[in-house]
């Protein structure tokens, strides 16, 4: 079966790597891919949000399955268009991708179906938001309702920060239309974990739980980023907690989607926080997490394409999935200046060949002639398996220390305080 992967990040390289191990895989195409995916398949240049192009490539290359990585094309309806053209696709319709693309919608659904989450109010009018925030005693989080490339969530310590954040979004329109509506929610306390469910419309298969590190700097300091590293499994989710998450969060959410006539096919990513009152949903994503996927798929031992096909065909209850018992940890190497402005086109040196236990996923990279150069904020992810998490960490950092590009920044404490 020929497969087309949409996207250009570390997640997509990891998806391609897992697909490349499948016995069913024919040819692999990536739109647009990066220097890493170019070694596993054929990169097709173009905009990953160009729906007409995706349909054209899928037809031209006799694609049996398109796997959509990022949220933007999903929110724009790429899965709908591919299906309409009679093509098979892994990834939810636009109506279901709203769970990520429209936080107001997600909050309403959770409230209506009693899915535990932070208490929240929605505002379009800055005056009303201001009044509300002033009356709150507890710290709040201000969130843009729309997709804001990881910049739409401001965790505030006091009301004046929250009012400024609301003003930036609603009045100054710093996030454009994504921040024209905001959600102001109570700030929850607890450790965070990411749980990804592969969903076939009714049934789901839970991938091994993971944790990511969203803050830029060691000790969880600095701004939020797309993710500076991840590890799997997460010790926060033991069997009992997993049962709780399934019965209190996952099942009610999937039932809600069925009830609302929003068939969900793809990955439903639960961003969770473990409060003293139990797990709560921080966010839904409608796709694989980045960099969680790099750590999760490093541990997958069974056929990945079989699993995706089972989800598309509605046969997940029979899916046979096997995991490596060893933990995996991914360290992201980012450009100097990320998540704000950064330079690109810098040569990357010292990337070793992949081994069974350590791989380097490319994220923001491209070829300039024969040279691999930086091409994005997050540049590479080094993922290692180890007998213990500490061992995986040691192996990953060993390889990180061999890789060089000017201005490279990475955290040195990943997986340390689990």
Contacts with ligand GLY by CB under 6 A lie at: 212, 227, 285, 289-290, 292
Comparing CB distances to ligand GLY, the nearer of 117 and 309 is 117
Angle at 63 between CA 61 and CA 67, to 5 degrees: 125
Comparing CB distances to ligand AMP, the nearer of 189 and 239 is 189
Could you tell which of ligand AMP, ligand GLY, none binds residue 208, using a CB distance below 5 to 8 A set by kind? Answer: none
Q: Where do the H-state alpha helices sit in 144-299?
A: 159-170, 239-245, 251-259, 292-298
Comparing CB distances to ligand GLY, the nearer of 167 and 283 is 283
Please state, in angstroms and rounded to a whole number, the distance separating the CA atoms of residues 318 and 380. 35
**Is residue 271 part of the contact set for ligand AMP (CB under 6 A)?**
yes
Candidates 282, 351, 363, 372: give the one binding ligand AMP (CB under 6 A).
282
Given a contact cutoff of 8 angstroms between Cβ atoms, the answer to whether 97 and 80 are in contact is: no
Considering only residues 144 to 203 of the shown chain, the ones binding ligand AMP according to CB under 6 A are 153, 155, 185, 187-188, 192
Smallest distance, Å, CB 192 to ligand AMP?
5
Q: What is the dihedral of CA 74, 76, 82, 85, to 10 degrees?
A: 160
Comparing CB distances to ligand GLY, the nearer of 159 and 266 is 266
Smallest distance, Å, CB 150 to ligand AMP?
7
The site that binds ligand AMP (CB under 6 A) totals a number of residues, namely: 13
Please state, in angstroms and rounded to a whole number, the distance separating the CA atoms of residues 231 and 2. 30
Locate 295 and state its tokens.
């750590």
Comparing CB distances to ligand GLY, the nearer of 186 and 283 is 283
Given a contact cutoff of 8 angstroms between Cβ atoms, the answer to whether 405 and 346 are in contact is: yes
Q: What are phi and psi of 100, to 5 degrees?
A: -100, -40
Locate 286 and state its tokens.
């409608």
**Is residue 214 part of the contact set for ligand AMP (CB under 6 A)?**
yes
Comparing CB distances to ligand AMP, the nearer of 284 and 342 is 284
Please state, in angstroms and rounded to a whole number, the distance separating the CA atoms of residues 7 and 30. 7
Could you tell which of ligand AMP, ligand GLY, none binds residue 227, using a CB distance below 5 to 8 A set by kind? Answer: ligand GLY
Smallest distance, Å, CB 324 to ligand AMP?
27
Given a contact cutoff of 8 angstroms between Cβ atoms, the answer to whether 100 and 107 are in contact is: no
**Is residue 69 part of the contact set for ligand AMP (CB under 6 A)?**
no
Element housing 242 (H / E): helix 239-245
Comparing CB distances to ligand AMP, the nearer of 285 and 294 is 285
Comparing CB distances to ligand AMP, the nearer of 192 and 391 is 192
Given a contact cutoff of 8 angstroms between Cβ atoms, the answer to whether 358 and 396 are in contact is: yes
Could you tell which of ligand GLY, ligand AMP, none binds residue 361, using a CB distance below 5 to 8 A set by kind? Answer: none
Pick from 327, 330, 311: nearest CA to 319: 311
Any idea what DSSP says for residue 209?
Answer: P
Given a contact cutoff of 8 angstroms between Cβ atoms, the answer to whether 272 and 241 are in contact is: no
Smallest distance, Å, CB 71 to ligand AMP?
11
Considering only residues 115 to 144 of the shown chain, the ones binding ligand AMP according to CB under 6 A are 118, 141
Q: What is the dihedral of CA 213, 219, 220, 226, to 10 degrees?
A: -40
Smallest distance, Å, CB 107 to ligand AMP?
11
Pick from 28, 67, 74: nearest CA to 51: 74
Pick from 74, 72, 68: nearest CA to 90: 68
Could you tell which of ligand AMP, ligand GLY, none binds residue 212, using a CB distance below 5 to 8 A set by kind? Answer: ligand GLY
Could you tell which of ligand GLY, ligand AMP, none binds residue 319, using a CB distance below 5 to 8 A set by kind? Answer: none
Could you tell which of ligand GLY, ligand AMP, none binds residue 289, using a CB distance below 5 to 8 A set by kind? Answer: ligand GLY
Comparing CB distances to ligand AMP, the nearer of 15 and 188 is 188
Q: What are phi and psi of 293, to 5 degrees?
A: -60, -40
Q: How many CA atoms lie within 13 A of 299 on its CB side?
A: 26
Candidates 218, 246, 283, 354: give the one binding ligand AMP (CB under 6 A).
283
Residues in contact with ligand AMP by CB under 6 A are 118, 141, 153, 155, 185, 187-188, 192, 214, 224, 271, 282-283
């Amino acid at each position: 079966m020929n497969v087309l992967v949409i996207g250009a990040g570390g997640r997509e390289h990891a998806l391609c790597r897992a697909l490349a191990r499948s016995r069913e895989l024919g040819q692999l195409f990536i739109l647009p891919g990066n220097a890493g995916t170019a070694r596993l398949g054929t990169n097709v240049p173009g905009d990953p949000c160009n729906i007409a192009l995706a349909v054209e490539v899928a037809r031209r290359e006799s694609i049996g399955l398109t796997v959509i990585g990022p949220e933007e094309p999903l929110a724009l309806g790429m899965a709908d268009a591919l299906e309409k053209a009679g093509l098979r696709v892994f990834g939810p319709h636009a109506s279901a991708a709203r769970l990520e693309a429209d936080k107001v919608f997600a909050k309403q659904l959770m409230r209506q179906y009693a899915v535990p989450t932070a208490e929240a109010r929605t505002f379009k009018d800055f005056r009303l938001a201001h009044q509300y925030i002033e009356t709150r005693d507890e710290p709040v989080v201000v969130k843009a309702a729309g997709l804001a490339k990881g910049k739409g969530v401001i965790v505030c310590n006091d009301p004046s920060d929250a009012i400024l954040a609301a003003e930036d979004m609603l009045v100054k329109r710093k996030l454009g239309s994504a921040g024209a509506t905001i959600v102001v929610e109570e700030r929850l306390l607890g450790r965070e974990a990411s749980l990804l469910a592969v969903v076939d419309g009714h049934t789901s298969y839970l991938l091994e739980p993971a944790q990511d590190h969203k803050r830029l700097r060691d000790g969880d300091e600095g701004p939020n980023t797309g993710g500076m590293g991840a590890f799997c499994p997460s010790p926060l989710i033991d069997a009992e907690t997993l049962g709780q998450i399934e019965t209190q969060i996952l099942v009610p959410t999937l039932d809600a989607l069925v009830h609302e006539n929003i068939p969900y096919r793809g990955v439903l990513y639960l961003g969770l926080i473990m409060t003293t009152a139990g797990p709560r949903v921080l966010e839904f994503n409608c796709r694989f997490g980045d960099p969680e996927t790099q750590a999760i798929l490093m541990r997958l031992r069974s056929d990945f394409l079989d699993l995706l096909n089972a989800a598309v065909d509605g046969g997940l209850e029979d899916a046979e999935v096997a995991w490596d018992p060893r933990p995996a940890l991914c360290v992201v190497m980012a450009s100097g200046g990320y998540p704000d402005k950064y330079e690109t086109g810098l040569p990357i040196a010292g990337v070793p060949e992949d081994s069974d236990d350590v791989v380097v996923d490319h994220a923001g990279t491209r070829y300039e002639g024969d040279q691999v150069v930086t091409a994005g904020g997050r540049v590479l992810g080094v993922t290692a398996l180890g007998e213990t998490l500490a061992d995986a960490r040691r192996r990953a950092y060993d390889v990180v220390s061999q890789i060089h590009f000017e201005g490279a920044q990475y955290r040195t404490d990943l997986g340390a305080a689990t």
